[in-house]
């Protein structure tokens, strides 16, 4: 159960409430959490005055920002829009959080790194985005910090998928039902992340904040969260097709071939390595992080039931 310092329900403003991650946040919200939903067209995150007015009127205990411009390749041409939504607007939310003494939970990305590191990225590693999307997301992190807000959690995540949104899992299933062969990039590695696990991680961090120990250090700051283990996009696609066959989905594809990034050029550069070190999150919460393969199976089981 989540309650604030006055032992009443925690009032949570959920930004981007109709998006893929937010839908799972709504489903996984624990008892004692009162969600207030904000999304277009009634709520324009890019309108500073509207953001301030609506959030200071609500006076939430927590603001969870699931809104983002997520078209990685589109950001290369729509730079101003990406920077406004992913960058400046995070500052608007941070200022509103300061005005009402709320905690801000903001979702960021592996794209703030260049992907050249050997080994998993920790929160202490230097950021170096190589795409406009990555620059815009890092700009949002910096806008948050620059407001002086102290009560915040920045959760960087990677390769996100879940019900209710466009994602790699559903794309592969659609292609696998139509084609005999697939060619998938194998020289980019990362950790697929199920929205259900990320939503649980958000509430795990908030529960630590709501029940602080007298000797515990300040829990706020930047955290990395993705499912445990790593794979290439090629390995992820193979696992998706395997799960699809086990669920007796209409799978036509016979062969999946690994290819290099250079064989599938896209407008935006992707990090070659997106693997995260989750030691900080696990040490604070005491929670185990599910393996990506197990969570993919969980997703398919839920997907089957919903159909």
- Which tokens sit at 260? 């290099």
- The confidence score (pLDDT) of residue 74 equals 98
Residue 2 has pLDDT above 80, yes or no: no
Q: How far apart are CA 99 and CA 198, in angstroms?
A: 27
pTM: 0.95
Distance, CA of 103 to chain centre: 18
- The confidence score (pLDDT) of residue 173 equals 98
Confidence bin at 304 (pLDDT 50/70/90): low
- The confidence score (pLDDT) of residue 276 equals 98
> In this structure, how many other beta carbons lie within 10 angstroms of the beta carbon of residue 1?
11
Q: Closest Cα partner for 151 from 206, 88, 73?
A: 206
- The set of catalytic residues is 133
Q: What percent of the chain has pLDDT over 70?
A: 95
- The confidence score (pLDDT) of residue 303 equals 81
- The confidence score (pLDDT) of residue 215 equals 57
Helices (H) and strands (E) in the chain, counts: 10, 12
DSSP string of 183-224, one letter each residue: EEE-S-EE--EEHHHHHHHHHHHHHHHHS--TTPPP--EEEE
Q: Closest Cα partner for 161 from 268, 264, 259, 295?
A: 295
Instruction: Kindly state the DSSP code that residue 87 receives in the 8-state scheme.
Output: I
Q: Closest Cα partner for 184 from 260, 293, 244, 274?
A: 260
Domains and CATH numbers, the chain: 10-166+192-227+275-290 (3.40.50.720)
Reported in sequence order, the residue ranges of the chain that DSSP labels E, i.e. its strands, are: 10-15, 33-38, 62-65, 103-109, 152-157, 160-161, 181-185, 189-190, 193-194, 221-224, 231-232, 255-259
- The confidence score (pLDDT) of residue 9 equals 86
- The confidence score (pLDDT) of residue 302 equals 84
Q: Closest Cα partner for 89 from 143, 132, 38?
A: 143
Confidence bin at 245 (pLDDT 50/70/90): very high
Residue 1 has pLDDT above 90, yes or no: no
Q: How far apart are CA 278 and CA 120, in angstroms?
A: 9
Determine the average pLDDT of the residues in 124-130. Answer: 98
Query: What SS3 state is found at 158?
Result: coil
Q: What percent of the chain has pLDDT over 90?
A: 92
Q: Closest Cα partner for 141 from 216, 101, 189, 83?
A: 83
Q: Closest Cα partner for 144 from 156, 128, 129?
A: 156
Determine the average pLDDT of the residues in 85-113. Answer: 98
- The confidence score (pLDDT) of residue 210 equals 81
> In this structure, how many other beta carbons lie within 10 angstroms of the beta carbon of residue 198?
23
| Dihedrals phi, psi of 172, to nearest 5 degrees | -65, -40
Confidence bin at 6 (pLDDT 50/70/90): low
Query: What SS3 state is found at 57?
Result: helix
Average pLDDT, the chain: 95
């Amino acid at each position: 159960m989540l309650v604030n310092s006055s032992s009443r329900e925690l009032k949570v403003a959920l930004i981007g409430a109709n998006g893929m991650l937010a839908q799972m946040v709504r489903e996984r919200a624990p008892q004692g959490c009162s969600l207030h939903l904000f999304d277009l067209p009634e709520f324009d995150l890019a309108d500073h005055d509207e953001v301030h007015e609506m959030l200071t009127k609500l006076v939430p205990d927590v603001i969870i920002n699931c809104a983002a411009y997520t078209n990685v390749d589109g950001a290369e041409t729509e730079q101003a829009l990406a920077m406004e939504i992913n960058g400046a607007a995070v500052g608007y939310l941070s200022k509103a959080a300061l005005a009402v003494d709320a905690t801000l939970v903001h979702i960021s990305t592996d794209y703030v790194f260049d992907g050249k590191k050997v080994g998993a990225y920790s929160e202490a590693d230097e950021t170096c985005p190589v795409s406009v999307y990555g620059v815009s997301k890092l700009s949002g992190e910096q806008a948050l910090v620059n407001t002086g807000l102290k009560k915040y959690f920045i959760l960087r995540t990677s390769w996100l998928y879940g019900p209710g949104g466009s994602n790699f899992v559903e794309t592969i299933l659609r292609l696998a039902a139509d084609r005999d062969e697939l060619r998938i990039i194998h020289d980019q590695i990362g950790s697929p992340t199920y929205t259900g696990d990320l939503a649980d991680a958000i509430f795990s961090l908030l529960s630590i904040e709501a029940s602080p120990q007298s000797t515990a250090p300040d829990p706020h700051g930047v955290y990395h969260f993705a499912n445990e283990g790593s794979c290439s996009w090629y390995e992820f696609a193979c696992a998706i097709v395997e799960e699809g066959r086990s669920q007796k989905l209409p799978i036509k594809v016979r062969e999946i071939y690994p290819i290099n990034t250079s064989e599938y050029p896209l407008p935006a550069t992707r990090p070659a390595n997106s693997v995260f070190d989750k030691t900080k999150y696990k040490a604070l919460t005491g929670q185990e992080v599910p393996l990506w393969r197990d969570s993919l199976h969980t997703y398919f089981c839920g997907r089957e039931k919903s159909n």
